[in-house]
Amino acid sequence: MSGPRPNNADRLWLGSLVLVGLLVRMVIWQIKGGIYYPDEIFQYLEPANMRITGMGWLPWEFERGVRSWILPTFYGAWLWWGHLLGLDGFTIHRLICLHNALWSVLLIPGAYRLALAVGDRPAARLSALLAACYLPIAFFMPHTLNEVPGLLLTTWGLVWYLEGRRENRLWPGPILAGLSLGMATVIRPTLGLWTVVPALHWLAGRRWRSFLAYALAGTLLVGLAGVIDIFTWGSFLHSFLEYIDYNLIESGASHHGVSPWHHYLAIWFWQRMGVGGCVLVLGALLALRRTGLLLVAALLPVVVLSAIEHKEERFLLSSYPLVLCAGSVGWMAVCSRLGRVKRGVAAGLLVVLVLGTGLHGSLSFHWRWRAGVFAGQAYVGRQQDATGVLLDDRIHLNGGYFLLNRHIAQEPFRRVLAQHRLFNYLVLKTASGDVAWARRNGFVVLTEFDDMSVLRRSSPR
């Protein structure tokens, strides 16, 4: 490790915060259900399930080759072992989400070292505390989104960059920074925006050896992903180039929703971070000589991605810890002349404000969106007499064949299809008129999950 080292008191503090972070993430994992974005199933788990079992709906991205097979292959290993142990898709999904939640505690020591690289120990301890408990970050951790590993890779990449930025050694600083940020870019090309500040800083300082080591390490990871594309798509860097072509040149992402330029300011910043976010940015601005690199690394992606019509707040997940660390470093620098007690009180007030506004901002998340559909699909998949199931809403808003875990017909619910004897199970909104219609036409309600009812045909047609 280059840069300042944690002392024994800090190690005890970090160990305690890792336990707190684990508890927070496990509680969120227990509460949450379903998905937050359809990509969680259909960009990673459903393609993997199709390769392993032959069952699945393959989204258009895997027809054109816009996505890499790297993450589906990783999750596919979970599916393979899960099926070997006799687990169904629902259980495997829960275990994968738990895995993502648990290993995300690596963010806590990452936030500590990020702040320590530009600030002092009180700021580092404060940053670690916020990273452990900040709900706008923790909410996303038990999800199968590429931004979850991307968050850890960008954070630790910037840690190694900041710790090694003033040293002449190429290891671990520039090389590990390049490998980490390069891998983040492989997982999602837009995460390459977090690679810009280290590159420009080393170039501006004429640190040619550091820049070259950093660039070569990152290029190595991207190149390896390109070689994998040869075997999966037939050409070098196929998925990366198709991603750029579709999203930037063709503006294809706008077909999936368009938001105004200020969307990230309104949602990612104000709705999620609120007044606490404003206070953090103010603190960073008051100590800009220390926090400048962190602040630019956090806000540059906000500016660039705001110019793209299609916007989703998860695209900026990697900027959350940078704002937390920059604000912590800034306010601890501002309060450095205060006595120990007064500085502690100031830190405590900042914690209450930031975590409180983060909690308020997180209340508007959909904590159990589609959870009832997922549980309903899993229930139908366990019924030996099931020959077909009709599901509420569109195909990409359920758990696919991965969750159903059976090679039977499943389609979006339509009354004309429900009259066909093949579809002897239905999963419908409990409050909808379709449940009453189904009961009048020979179906009976078996059970309910969240807002969904599972029905089975009781009379032959």
User: What does the pLDDT look like over 26-39, one tens digit per residue?
Assistant: 999 999 989 999 99
Does 292 map to a domain? no
Q: What is the mean pLDDT of the chain?
A: 93
As a whole number, mean pLDDT of residues 56-65 equals 89
Pick the closest to residue 332 from 316, 309, 355, 351 (CA basis): 351
Does 446 map to a domain? yes
Residue 426 has what pLDDT? 97
Residue pLDDT, tens place only, 123-166: 999 999 999 999 999 999 999 999 999 999 999 999 999 998 87
**What is the β-pairing status of strands 425-429 and 388-391?**
parallel
Does 277 map to a domain? no
As a whole number, mean pLDDT of residues 366-372 equals 93
- Burial string for 237-260 (b: 16+ CB within 10 Å, else e) reads bbbbbbbeebbeeeeebeeeeebe
Does 333 map to a domain? no
pTM tops 0.95: no
Which helix (H) or strand (E) segment holds residue 454: the answer is strand 452-457
**What is the β-pairing status of strands 443-449 and 409-412?**
unpaired
Q: CA 275: distance to chain centroid?
A: 24
Q: What one-character-per-residue DSSP string does 153-220 give?
A: HHHHHHHHHHHHTT-S--TTHHHHHHHHHHHHHHH-GGGGGGGHHHHHHHHHTT-HHHHHHHHHHHHH
Does 400 map to a domain? yes
The residues, any chain, with a CB within 8 Å of residue 289's CB and separated by 6 or more, are none
Q: Is the pLDDT of residue 461 over 50?
A: no
| Burial class for 308, CB neighbours closer than 10 Å (0-12, 13-18, 19+) | middle
d(CA 79, CA 403): 11
The total of structural domains in the chain comes to: 1
Does 163 map to a domain? no
Does 246 map to a domain? no
Range of the domain at 377: 371-457
| Burial class for 414, CB neighbours closer than 10 Å (0-12, 13-18, 19+) | exposed
Half-sphere exposure of 130 (CA within 13 A, CB side): 37
Does 313 map to a domain? no
pLDDT > 90: percent of the chain: 84
Cite the beta strand spans of 291-442 per DSSP E. Answer: 388-391, 409-412, 425-429
| C-beta neighbour count of 264 within 10 angstroms | 22
Confidence band of 167 (pLDDT split at 50, 70, 90): confident
CA dihedral 58, 63, 64, 70 (to 10 degrees): 60
